[in-house]
Amino acid sequence: MTSQVEALLASGYKQLDMDEPFEVLVGPFYMKENEDGTYRSAFVAEEKHTNAMGVVHGGLLMSFADYSLFSIARGHDIPRSVTIGFNSEFVSGGMVGEVIESTGEVVRATRSLVFVRGTLFSGDRTILSFSGILKRAYEAK
């Protein structure tokens, strides 16, 4: 286990039992609950996450941001849901070995939709800003 992963685990991050095969493939991603009841996520950038230029692939950053939408919304008692809208802006590149984290907020939650915005960062450097809309997915009866 890398020292960055050990530091994440020591600071309260956990790798959840994943039922999303794609996130298992591209991760591992980690999540922790903050003292105020909000959640944040993180991953350690590895060689497998890079593009041909050696920086973290934009598709991986967007996948992690999508994962983060759900962790940010986690404190709002949201049952199963799906992403129906997603926007992102690249601000900087992620590098191998960096811990990339996300934070954000629920802007509004209605009976069927949850509006979320957040930021991916490493240290004090913003990497990506994002927003998304989650739709509560109700079980068919």
pLDDT tens profile 115-133: 999 999 999 999 999 999 9
- How does residue 21 score in pLDDT terms, banded at 50, 70 and 90? confident
Selected residue with higher pLDDT from 63 and 138: 63
Please compute the mean of the pLDDT values over residues 87-92 and round it to a whole number. 97
What gap in Å lies between CA 128 and CA 44, rounded to an integer? 16
| Three-state secondary structure readout of the chain | CCHHHHHHHHCCCECCCCCCHHHHHHCCCEEEECCCCCEEEEEECCHHHECCCCEECHHHHHHHHHHHHHHHHHHHCCCCEEEEEEEEEECCCCECCCEEEEEEEEEEECCCEEEEEEEEEECCEEEEEEEEEEEECCCCC
Q: pTM of the prediction? A: 0.90
Contacts of 71 (CB under 8 A, 6+ apart): 31, 39, 40, 41, 102
Residue reference for tokens 């939709």: 113
Q: Where are the domains of the chain?
A: 3-136
Please compute the mean of the pLDDT values over residues 88-114 and round it to a whole number. 94
What gap in Å lies between CA 112 and CA 85, rounded to an integer? 14
- How does residue 4 score in pLDDT terms, banded at 50, 70 and 90? confident
Would you say residue 56 has pLDDT above 90?
yes
Report pLDDT for 38.
87
What gap in Å lies between CA 15 and CA 13, rounded to an integer? 7
Would you say residue 76 has pLDDT above 90?
no
The whole-chain average pLDDT of the chain stands at 89
What percent of the chain is modeled with pLDDT above 70? 93
Just give the CATH number of 3-136.
Answer: 3.10.129.10
